[in-house]
Structure 1
Amino acid sequence: MIEFLKDNWFKLIIVINYLLAISAAITILFRNTNPTKTLTYIIVLVFFPFVGLLVYYLFGQEYRKNKIFNRKNILNEKIIKTLNDELNLNTKELQELEDDFLEDKIKLVKLLQKSDKAPLTLSNTVEILNNGEVKFKRLFQDLNAAKHHIHLEYYIVKDDVIGSEFLNILCDKARAGIEVRLSVDDVGADISHKMKNKLIESGVQFYSFMPVLFPKFTGRMNYRNHRKIAVIDGAIGYLGGINISDSYVNKPEKETYWRDTHLRIEGGAIVTLQAQFFINWEFVSESKVKITRDYFPNESCNDNVAVQIAASGPDTDWANIMDVMFSAITSADDYIYLTTPYFIPNDEFIMALQIASLSGIEVKLLIPDESDSWIAKHATNSYLERLFKANIKVYRYTKGFIHSKTMVVDDVFSTIGTSNMDYRSFKINFEINAVIYDKQTSEDLKADFIADLRNAKEMIPEEWSKRSNFTKLKEAYCKLWAPLL
């Protein structure tokens, strides 16, 4: 028997590999998920022995179904439930809004209220913050002025120059008796042990989201917390594309210009943003926070900007951000302007854009000229042919790298947040967007989009069709991996 094993050990390993691969394939088939994604996993399992199983282990586990994430505890908290009930608009109020300015966009409001328990808040002040240098100036002012608590949830935090300034402010505030809670993604963040010890010694409550053994080698592992949230004293909130790192600050000596967009909010929308923070905090800290009214001061706001907070991730029953974007596209009457660093959508999203464009709606997409990911760049390129066939205009940003995640429709609807327009953001990662129903904000975001086009080149379909067969092969290869990106 021993001799047999010695002579046939490799064959036995191959047999075991394929038994496990068949078991995994059956599990995927029973999951009844997207056929393209299902086929991709099966191909990887069959044609890439051992590697296929590793890919499935890292990317294919369906935690959404396994219920390791649970948001009901927080959403059922008496205070949050009461506040949400107070904020939810009744049928008559929704009808009045529809008559006043929302028109057919009211279905977007109803979608989020029903699927995500995200009430539409009517009393908000919003401020669009273009680029890191603007965001950090405002954020640091608000952090330094905090009186009760600071809640932070970021994908990337580094203790470089800007990151150290940020973290030192948190230490100072914690030593001054302010409650400071900081959650960072274990894959995205890069904080030294020395700084981590300083945070903890200063009294900052600090946790990493879903720790992994080798974070530097698992940059694409599933179920990462891609959000960038700040809530200060329950009165001020931040969300958008800008993480905490020098990469997001444009200095004269910096080689690559970084174009990004963030949002500062005051008003009723902070209730939902704060609740979303507590949902993930309970998960990362494995402890229950005593939630009191101090975290929800319900401070009055003089402006009347209508805002909903859309959150999605493995803890939500629906892909809320994708759903509301899809609905906005299908309800557009005039134009749709989209900016994203990664455009790897599903077929339904592409078809919605195609139908909108073919029905006479102006559709423009702004993406980077040079990406920070080789495979994401070519995967994005694989979708452009379908856009060109529907007369959708595509622009490549040439001034630097554009990382903004924005969408504006018809001078009525706009969204700013953390979600890219790709499989990972729509279906896998934790993401959060502000959905804004306001003419002035939409016009401001539209103006920013048009200004960015001045630093972009329009792609010419005829020229694009002449790219080499080798380039097309790279696109086809990367598109194969698109459902896993």
Structure 2
Amino acid sequence: MWTVIFIGIYIVLTIVIVISIIIHGARPTKSLAWLLAIFAIPVGGILLYLLLGRNRRKNKLIRLKKDLFNKLPKPQDSHINVFDGKYGKLMTHGYATSHFPPTPHNTLQLLKDGSTTFNTIFNALENAQQHIHIQYYIFEEGELADRLLALFEKKIANGVEVRMIYDGIGSFSLSKKYIKQLIKIGVEVYPFLPFKFGRYFSSLNYRNHRKIIVVDSKIAFTGGINISDKYLKGQVGLGKWHDMHLMLKGPSALHLNQVFMTDWYLVSGKVLQPLQYLEQDEFEPSKNLVQIVAGGPDDDFPVLEQTYFSIINMAKNYIFITNPYIIPGQALIRALLTAAISGVDVRLLVSENIDNTVVSWSVQSYFELFLKAGIRIYLFPDGFLHSKIMVSDDAVSSIGTANLDDRSFEQNYEVNALVYNKEFAKLLKQDFLQDCAIGKELNYTEYIERPWGKKLKEGIGRVLSPLF
């Protein structure tokens, strides 16, 4: 009796899911793979699909972005750059998808590796007068977390409001004891989609990968660095983590604060009262044109993938990319190959050591094709290179949280800063070339002679890449 009922429910559920995949599937190849998994793996295939396979863009968990942005202050005409010139379409795309225009009068400071970054962050936090907004994918206990706890307690005693978001899975190791300490001293703290059976069970695979700090809506930080002592002391078996971060002052700090406020609304249900836009003459004069681009699975389009795609397609002379997780989809593969074959100097800087062996196989599985097209690939040998950088033609740069993989484009909430500035691009270019100089450049002729076992591992990594 119960067996018959179970089989009936299973058949109905399978039919519903199959119809859903056919109607809402984002990509034919991916849809076919899930259909094969469901029919080949009874029960298990359905469970995997429910956890990892649903098209979030068609089945949104939240529908708040437009409503919330209508409640936020609109940028004044004086803060909106005319969308013209070589990157006019890129600017227009960022504004249409993320609602942030490129703005002038931003002061930028490039921060490399943990020591420099955290010294600068703590200096800014010490000078907070109104609020501290902090949001991280990985927030681990240790020396840095203890310093933050002590600083938060001091600033709250002086009337500063402190709000914190941590990802429920990325910061899974964060203890209840530490969270209780934060609450006790007055920090408003919420997890982003913690693992729970029920409503959020279906969202286990959708994470907030953003790293944002905003101080008084005037100073902001974003980039690849998380709150973890491994940026200072290294990690056993992997070595020191190397990364890039960015400090911003000016209108771009306000925009990063609005990104935080949208996430704050999701986790807390509270709408923060934003600071109004300052007049242009209240910002330090500069030629740094910056545009904040934020994207996530609740957007209608893969914003960050389209941003990277546009930068690559617009490259005339060179495109240099630093990223630990280069597992591109077909669109980005074609863009990179087309650029290289057309004579653009395309170079990739990838960490030789990666924190996940199977992910490393997947990244390496694309090397042979890239090398054949003339793309130059360098392996960074010292520790783990975690930066997410793209720079092109001494004109445009991207620095932020998004990797070049399906997870960042389809499943994670990410944020990048696009900088339209010659001097800043040259600075990133110089740093890229310095890192390449200490790395090992791969040779196509030698690489195709790699052992058969390595090729097999790479094939396994590519097949499993949709699960990463």
- Which among 85, 100, 107 is matched to residue 125 of structure 1? 107
Of residues 165, 182, 192 in structure 1, which corresponds to 2:164?
A: 182
Secondary structure of 1:290's match?
A: coil
What SS does the aligned partner of 1:111 have? Answer: helix
Deviates more, 1:324-333 or 1:188-197: 188-197
1:37 aligns with 2:20: no
Of the three residues 316, 329, 352, the one matched with 2:335 is 352
Q: 2:269 maps to what in 1?
A: 286
Any idea what SS the aligned residue of 1:211 has? coil
Q: Closer, same or farther in 2 for the Cα pair 1:58/1:209, shift >3 Å? A: same
Partner Cα distance (2:136, 2:156) in 1: 18
Q: Which amino acid aligns with 1:64?
A: R
Give the 3-state SS of the residue equivalent to 1:66 in structure 2: coil
- Alignment partners' CA distance in 2, 1:440 and 1:250: 32
SS in 2 for 1:341: coil
Q: How far off its partner does 1:107 sit?
A: 1.9
Task: Assess, with a 3 A threshold, how the Cα gap between structure 1 residues 178 and 25 changes in structure 2: closer, same or farther.
Answer: same
1:312/1:403 CA distance change after superposition, 3 Å: same
Question: How far apart, CA to CA, are the structure 1 residues paired with 2:384 and 2:437?
Answer: 14
Other structure's SS at 2:58 match? helix
* Cα 1:468/1:15, change in 2 over 3 Å: farther
Could you report, residue by residue, the CA deviation over 1:173-231 in whole angstroms, capped at 9, with x for unpaired residues? 123210111000010113222221111111111000011049xxx9x942100000011
Q: How many angstroms does 1:292 deviate by?
A: 4.3
Give the TM-score of the pair, scaled to structure 2: 0.93
Q: Distance in 1 between matches of 2:60 and 2:457?
A: 37
Q: Which of 251, 260, 274 is equivalent to 2:257? A: 274
1:64 matched to 2:57: yes
| Partner residue, 1:101 | none
- My pick for the range that moved more, 356-365 or 369-378, is 369-378
Aligned mate of 2:417, from 428, 434, 441: 434
Aligned with residue 167 of structure 1, among 149, 157, 165: 149
Instruction: Quote the Cα distance in structure 1 between the aligned partners of 2:352 and 2:307.
Output: 27
Matching residue of 1:75? 69
Deviation of residue 384 (structure 1)?
1.6
Displacement after TM superposition at 1:415 (Å): 0.5
* CA-CA distance at 1:142 after TM superposition: 0.5
> What is the CA deviation profile of residues 98-147 of structure 1, one whole-angstrom value per residue up to 9, with x for unaligned ones?
2xxxxx22221122122221111011111110001111000001111100
Q: How many Å apart are 1:84 and its aligned residue? A: 5.6
Q: Indicate if the aligned counterparts of 2:220 and 2:249 stay in contact, CA closer than 8 A.
A: yes
Residue among 27, 48, 53 paired with 1:55: 48
Question: Which residue does the alignment assign to 2:314?
Answer: 331
Helix, strand or coil: the match of 1:370? coil
- 3-state SS of paired residue (2:163): strand
Distance 1:255 1:66 in 2: 38
Greater alpha carbon shift after TM alignment, 321-330 vs 400-409? 321-330
Shift of the alpha carbon at 1:14? 6.6
Q: Distance in 1 between matches of 2:211 and 2:98?
A: 19
- Partner residue of 2:382 out of 396, 399, 402: 399
Q: Is the 8 A contact 2:195 2:204 kept in 1?
A: no
Tell me: CA distance 1:14–1:86, structure 2 relative to 1, closer, same or farther (3 Å): farther
| Cα-to-partner distance string for 1:229-288 (whole Å, 9 max, x where unaligned) | 011011001000000010122469996021100000011112211111111100000222
Code of the residue aligned with 1:284 in structure 2: it is V
- Would the alpha carbon gap of residues 450 and 292 (structure 1) be closer, same or farther in structure 2, given more than 3 Å must change? closer
CA deviations 1:30-73 (Å, max 9, x no partner) are: 11411222122223222222322221121123333233222122
**Matched residue SS, 2:363:** helix
Hey, what does 2:20 align to over in structure 1?
Answer: 27
SS of residue paired to 1:64:
coil
Instruction: Give the drift of 1:462.
Output: 1.9
| Partners of 2:238 and 2:353 within 8 A in 1 | no
Distance 1:289 1:60 in 2: 33
Q: Give the corresponding residue for 1:478.
A: 461
Going from structure 1 to structure 2, the CA distance change for 1:444 and 1:33 (only over 3 Å counts) comes to same
C-alpha RMSD over aligned residues: 2.3
Q: Following the alignment from structure 1 to structure 2, what is the Cα–Cα distance between the partners of residues 359 and 329?
A: 12
Change (3 A) 1:49 1:401: same
* Match in the other structure for 2:401: 418
Secondary structure of 1:76 counterpart:
helix
Distance (Å, rounded) in 1 between the aligned partners of 2:388 and 2:58:
28
Contact 2:221 2:248 in 1 (8 A): yes
**Could you say which residue in structure 2 is the equivalent of 1:208?**
191
- Percentage of matched positions with identical amino acids: 36
Per the alignment, residue 392 of structure 2 pairs with: 409
| Mapped partners of 1:290, 1:125: distance in 2 | 25
Residues 182 and 421 (structure 1 numbering): CA distance in 2 closer, same or farther, change over 3 Å?
same
Deviates more, 1:399-408 or 1:472-481: 472-481
Instruction: Name the CA distance, whole Å, in 2 between partners of 1:139 and 1:292.
Output: 21
Which amino acid is 2:365 matched to? S
In structure 1, C-alpha distance between the alignment counterparts of 2:125 and 2:28, rounded to whole Å? 46
Question: Which residue is 2:239 aligned to?
Answer: 256
Instruction: Give TM-score, length-normalised by structure 1.
Output: 0.90
Instruction: Please give the secondary structure, in 2, of the residue aligned with 1:256.
Output: coil
- What is the aligned partner in structure 1 of residue 80 from structure 2? 88
How many angstroms apart in 2 are the aligned matches of 1:433 and 1:204? 26
Structure 1 unaligned spans of 5+ = 99-103
Q: Distance in 2 between matches of 1:191 and 1:459?
A: 39
Aligned to 1:225: 208
Which AA in structure 1 matches 2:79? L
